[in-house]
Amino acid sequence: MALPGTSSGLHIVHIAAEMAPVAKVGGLADVISGLGKALQKKGNLVEIILPKYDCMQHNQINNLKVLDVVVQSYFEGNMFANKIWTGTVEGLPIYFIEPQHPGKFFWRAQYYGEHDDFKRFSYFSRVALELLYQSGKKVDIIHCHDWQTAFVAPLYWDVYANLGFNSARICFTCHNFEYQGTAPAQDLAYCGLDVEHLDRPDRMRDNSHGRINVVKGAIVYSNIVTTVSPTYAQEVRSEGGRGLQDTLKIHSKKFVGILNGIDTDTWNPSTDRFLKVQYSANDLYGKSANKAALRKQLKMSSANASQPLVGCITRLVPQKGVHLIRHAIYKTAELGGQFVLLGSSPVPNIQREFEGIADQFKNNSNIRLLLKYDDALSHMIFAASDMFIVPSMFEPCGLTQMIAMRYGSVPVVRKTGGLNDSVFDFDDETIPIELRNGFTFSKADEQGFDSALERAFNYYHRKPEVWKQLVQKDMKIDFSWDTSASQYEDIYQRAAARARAAT
């Protein structure tokens, strides 16, 4: 193993708006900790910069303490002080930024969804770079993620490089092109970016309206641009790019899709402390014990131990195929299975619609809808379910299908994005048999979904031995970050080598 500071160990800093388990909204959080740990294990020095949210899980941070130094940072024509806290999360060193700004940017009792998100995260991006600049650290790679920290790329090259802070190279990962961070052009000036210089079609002006677009800016200004699966990287070169397809084509040489891994320490059925009974591929007794426990906990029918349980854990947003999730509830009931949904929606009418469905089924002991975010319960559902549905309209990578397989729950998914790179149809004879691990469908309609779910039910009921082998095979697939982290390491190394050659 190479040690940090030696020729092959890199100094990598992630600047992000989320990190599991301390500040998690979705998959981005899992990536920061999973990729961070894997890169650290490979001998790199990895540090992470996060906002100090009032609502984060403070009990997940070790040795949280405030530093003596205060970092002064520019915003809207003034300098503002920022307290810097340090701590470790899952063994990774973290800097938490606490602005002393009257806008109380991270004292909002939620991570996103505020009227001034653009301001809050442009402020954060600027302080994160200021912290690195003032610390005098010799960073090799600054890795920013999604629109919230996309500001880092133009700030670095247009502001900080001019101050002599230019040894690092910038990697930007877009976890979802649906969210691009657009605003009136003049809002770029808050964090000290030059509006006139950047509000141009080849820089940060959005491709279809007069606003500026920070994800576009990060694509233009970063040295490396990645997204989270090879199939999604293809999809976003056309409609999936949500208007950025031409920008991605122009910058295609630096753009690559790398499939996310999962954190196999957090998601490990043989050590998972949230489960009633731990289990492994060679000892599946625990899986049925967890199914029994979940049924009891949710007051579901336990009359038939081999009645299949279908799970779904998701943000309820249109991307996730809300209409097919709703349909799956009725279809599972029709097929004689049980269904557990854990999900919450930031969209009030979707949340209300599912509350209505939950109400409709409240006296049905086979269906449960839990419309909230609950990490502990998610572990139990992965363990207890026999099948797991992900009928997304589009899915940059998707983590739940991989977690489900690790827990022996067979995925039924739509062939899109990262689902297409991780789930291979059990009946598809064009695919090598050893890769076939689930059930897939292509068309985003009820018929497509039904045929995949029906095939899964058929195997489950009629070929229990084949099903058991499939479960065991899925549990043994290596979805760890190891391979993907090596790919990131490789592109970082090449960028760092080019940077060294340039000096």
Q: Under the rule (CB under 6 A), what is the footprint of ligand ADP? A: 26-27, 30, 313-315, 342-344, 373-375, 378, 397-400
Nearer to ligand ADP, 283 or 375 (CB): 375
Residue nearest to ligand ADP (CB): 27
CA dihedral 244, 245, 251, 256 (to 10 degrees): 100
Nearer to ligand ADP, 132 or 322 (CB): 322
Parallel, antiparallel or unpaired: strands 212-213 and 182-183: antiparallel
Compute the distance between CA of residue 361 and CA of residue 369 in angstroms, rounded to an integer.
8
Nearer to ligand ADP, 30 or 130 (CB): 30
DSSP string computed for 208-239? SSSSEEHHHHHHHH-SEEEES-HHHHHHTTTG
Q: How far is the CB of 316 from ligand ADP (least distance, A)?
A: 8
DSSP code at position 3: P
Nearer to ligand ADP, 398 or 438 (CB): 398
Query: Residue 425 contacts by C-beta under 8 Å, 6 or more apart in sequence?
Result: 431, 436, 438, 439, 440
Nearer to ligand ADP, 4 or 26 (CB): 26
Q: Rounded to a whole number, what is the largest CA-CA distance in the chain?
A: 71
Q: How far is the CB of 312 from ligand ADP (least distance, A)?
A: 9
Q: How far is the CB of 477 from ligand ADP (least distance, A)?
A: 17
Q: How far is the CB of 200 from ligand ADP (least distance, A)?
A: 32
* CA–CA distances in Å: residue 285 to residues 222, 267, 277, 349, 477: 50, 18, 9, 41, 20
Nearer to ligand ADP, 21 or 308 (CB): 21
Handedness of CA 146, 35, 139, 71 (dihedral sign): positive
Nearer to ligand ADP, 25 or 195 (CB): 25
Q: How far is the CB of 394 from ligand ADP (least distance, A)?
A: 10
Nearer to ligand ADP, 74 or 373 (CB): 373
Nearer to ligand ADP, 190 or 407 (CB): 407
- Cβ atoms of residues 224 and 170 within 8 Å: yes
Compute the distance between CA of residue 379 and CA of residue 92 in angstroms, rounded to an integer.
23
The b/e string for 53-63 (b: 16+ C-beta within 10 A; e otherwise) is beebeeebbee
Q: How far is the CB of 231 from ligand ADP (least distance, A)?
A: 14
Nearer to ligand ADP, 107 or 274 (CB): 274
Token output for 21: 């388990």
Q: How far is the CB of 83 from ligand ADP (least distance, A)?
A: 30
Q: How far is the CB of 47 from ligand ADP (least distance, A)?
A: 23
DSSP string computed for 9-72? B-EEEEE-S-BTTTB-SSHHHHHHHHHHHHHHHTT-EEEEEEE--TTS-GGG-EEEEEEEEEEE
Token output for 52: 């100090």
Nearer to ligand ADP, 187 or 272 (CB): 272
Residue 282 identity: N
Q: How far is the CB of 430 from ligand ADP (least distance, A)?
A: 27
Nearer to ligand ADP, 70 or 293 (CB): 293
From the number of C-beta atoms within 10 Å of its C-beta (0-12, 13-18, 19+), residue 304 rates as exposed
DSSP string computed for 313-343? EEE-SGGG-HHHHHHHHHHHHHTT-EEEEEE
Compute the distance between CA of residue 183 and CA of residue 180 in angstroms, rounded to an integer.
10
Question: How much of the chain is in helix, strand and coil states, percent to nearest 5?
Answer: 40, 20, 35
Compute the distance between CA of residue 13 and CA of residue 21 in angstroms, rounded to an integer.
18
> Which of 346, 392, 345 has the alpha carbon at shortest distance from 371?
345
Q: Helix 375-384 vs helix 285-297: angle between axes, to the nearest 10 degrees?
A: 130
Nearer to ligand ADP, 373 or 459 (CB): 373
Q: How far is the CB of 314 from ligand ADP (least distance, A)?
A: 5
Q: How far is the CB of 36 from ligand ADP (least distance, A)?
A: 16
Q: How far is the CB of 422 from ligand ADP (least distance, A)?
A: 11
Compute the distance between CA of residue 52 and CA of residue 409 in angstroms, rounded to an integer.
36
Q: How far is the CB of 374 from ligand ADP (least distance, A)?
A: 5
